[in-house]
Amino acid sequence: MDILLVEDDDSIASPLVTGLARDGFAVTRVATGAEALAVPRPEFVLLDLGLPDLDGADVCRELRARGDTPIIVITARGDEIDRVVLLELGADDYLVKPFGLRELVARIRAVARRTQPRVDTGPTRVGPLEIDRRTRRVTLDDRPIELTPKEFDLLAFLAAEPGTVFTRQDILESVWDTHWYGPTKTLDVHVAALRKKLGDAGWVETVRGVGFRLAEPR
């Protein structure tokens, strides 16, 4: 796996490059946000938030807007970090410095498994609703629907198996974070937003006491 390491501190970057190489990863290291955004279609990104030129959160948001590249944020801002905000920006996971190489490698492999792309069989259709994972576009009756990155991820996850009921925990762990232990309110907020944008609450059905499923409204 090729990893783009975005870290301006040489004392942190150098041992990471060496350690990850020993574990079989190919690492390209850059020191600024501008350099990170100039790399075409990175396979995996380790992103420090404290960059010298751009806010790491803005870099994360821009990388996510460009596609599905897995992103793990590495940060020293342990006291200030807002888990939900980071995940909303599109990060798949995060680690607070200092951290061990073994933990980082485990997180990389876990995120890679979770975000491994499915075989491209073209856009998914559920009645008049079409979800294209490759272009991250959604249309309803051929009308484009503008979604945030997480709204799209949620819809695409449910659309992978239309009619199947997914538990709240399954959705949170798959769409947000494999180690999610926080409140589930963020899921309800995103479900409500999806229903509003799709124009009919029936698209995302609540199965009381279990979770949600995607189905064409009756």
Q: Is 55 helix (H, G, I), strand (E, B) or coil?
A: strand
Q: Do the strands 2-6 and 45-48 form a parallel or antiparallel pair, or are they unpaired? A: parallel
Q: Do the strands 211-214 and 166-167 form a parallel or antiparallel pair, or are they unpaired? A: antiparallel
Measured CA to CA, the distance from residue 34 to residue 36 in angstroms comes to 5
Q: Do the strands 129-132 and 143-144 form a parallel or antiparallel pair, or are they unpaired? A: unpaired
> What residue ranges do the domains of the chain occupy?
2-115, 124-214
pLDDT digits (tens, 9 = 90+) for 93-103: 888 888 888 88
Residue 39: φ, ψ to 5°? -80, 120
pLDDT digits (tens, 9 = 90+) for 117-132: 555 567 899 999 999 9
Q: Residue written as tokens 């959705």?
A: 171
* Residue range 2-115, CATH number: 3.40.50.2300
CATH class of 124-214: mainly alpha
Residues in the chain: 218
205 pLDDT more than 90:
yes
Q: Burial, 129: exposed, middle or buried (Cβ in 10 Å; 0-12, 13-18, 19+)?
A: buried
84 pLDDT more than 80:
no
pLDDT for res 119 = 53
Residue 79 pLDDT grade (very low, low, confident, very high; cuts 50, 70, 90) = very low
Is-above-0.85 flag for pTM? no
Average pLDDT, the chain: 86
Weakest-pLDDT range from 1-5, 7-11, 93-97: 93-97
46 pLDDT more than 90:
yes
DSSP labels, 118-184: PP----EEETTEEEETTTTEEEETTEE----HHHHHHHHHHHTSTT--EEHHHHIIIII-TT--S-S
1 pLDDT more than 80:
yes
Distances (CA, A) of 148 to 61, 136, 137, 153, 208: 11, 10, 11, 9, 26
